[in-house]
Amino acid sequence: MVALAMALSWLLGHPEEDPGGPVMLCTDSQSALSALRAGPAAQQSRLGATIWQALLMLAERGRRAQLQWVPSHCGLEGNERADILAKEAAQLPQESAPLDVQTLSSEDAYMQAKKRLTDRYGNAFITANEFKKRLYKWPEVKVGDSRLSEETIQTVLDDLATLGHAEWTDKAKRRCLVLWRSPAEWGQLIYGWAVDSGLVGSVCTLYELTHGDHLTDQPFHGLCEELLVRALGSLQAAGKAELMDNEGVKFF
């Protein structure tokens, strides 16, 4: 979804390069299309709402946008090129937004890094996702480590919690659940896999979903049980699944 949001943001921010006519955005993510297909009022993630807002803004300008699914890793030139560029970009140094936790020792440094991302992307939700990516790449830093103060760690996590990407699980703020995706977004990923695998109407165990050898390439493989149950609970609330004593799930 991040790629779709960034593409739409670019279209809206560069009207001088707009040739007119319809716009086709291609993606190999069926789960993203499935979530967006529900419509703007049904979006359960900020990113989905942002994409729909951008689509409506394009419509107000008289532009018709179409989201098109394309299969991945099957030789389609545009899709293969996008995959190569994404892998190359992942290896680039963060020159535009340098963030080194070995020298990060105050809230000022953290806020400066966030400001640079905000200046670069503009959109608050895209900024939040880019910041999450950088957090994920940081080396492990334990509370008490001299490289990063406990106060700064709490500030980072408090900010993620404000954006809906983290939750403190105790009042003393000693344990925090970082949500790289919301439970609803994890649910959509799992449901997209179930649909693609022809498992609608079938039952899967929770252990199979997170530890199955045939699912090691899925983003939800290894997901903690607490978050998995919440993700499946969001599908159950939407009528797409039924939890079975927190040991299995049936997809509809």
pLDDT digits (tens, 9 = 90+) for 153-165: 777 788 778 777 7
pLDDT for 239 beyond 90: yes
- Residue 149's pLDDT is 64
pLDDT for 171 beyond 80: yes
Kindly give the interhelix angle for 124-137 and 2-13, rounded to the nearest 10 degrees: 140
By three-state DSSP, how is residue 25 classified?
strand
pLDDT for 49 beyond 80: yes
pLDDT digits (tens, 9 = 90+) for 130-151: 666 666 554 444 444 445 567 7
What is the arrangement of strands in the sheet containing 248-251, beginning at the earlier edge strand?
A: 203-205, 248-251, 241-244
pLDDT for 57 beyond 90: no
| Rounded mean pLDDT, 87-115 | 56
Tell me the average pLDDT of the chain: 77
Find where tokens 């503009």 sit.
122
The CATH homologous superfamily for domain 2-89 is Ribonuclease H-like superfamily/Ribonuclease H (3.30.420.10)
Which carries the bigger pLDDT value, residue 43 or residue 9?
Answer: 9
By three-state DSSP, how is residue 79 classified?
helix
Q: How far is Cα of residue 134 from the mean position of the Cα atoms in its chain?
A: 13
CA-to-CA separations, 138 to 99, 167, 223, 249, in angstroms, rounded: 9, 20, 20, 35
- Residue 104's pLDDT is 42
- Residue 250's pLDDT is 93
- Residue 139's pLDDT is 46
Give CA–CA dist 92/96, Å, rounded: 10
Closest CA to 89 of 171, 2, 176: 2
Which carries the bigger pLDDT value, residue 200 or residue 64?
Answer: 200
**Position 211 confidence tier, pLDDT thresholds 50, 70, 90:** confident
pTM of the model: 0.41
**Position 74 confidence tier, pLDDT thresholds 50, 70, 90:** confident
**Position 235 confidence tier, pLDDT thresholds 50, 70, 90:** very high
CATH number of 183-251: 1.10.10.10
Each domain of the chain, given as residue ranges in start order, spans 2-89, 99-178, 183-251
**Position 103 confidence tier, pLDDT thresholds 50, 70, 90:** very low
If one counts every other C-beta atom within 10 angstroms of the C-beta of residue 16, the result is: 5
Q: DSSP letters of 30-57?
A: HHHHHHHHT-GGG--SHHHHHHHHHHHH
| Rounded mean pLDDT, 169-193 | 85
- Residue 221's pLDDT is 85
| Rounded mean pLDDT, 191-211 | 90
Strand partners, 249: 204, 243
Query: How many helices (H) does the chain have, and how many strands (E)?
Result: 10, 7
Give CA–CA dist 62/168, Å, rounded: 44
CA-to-CA separations, 21 to 59, 78, 106, 194, 220, in angstroms, rounded: 11, 20, 49, 36, 38
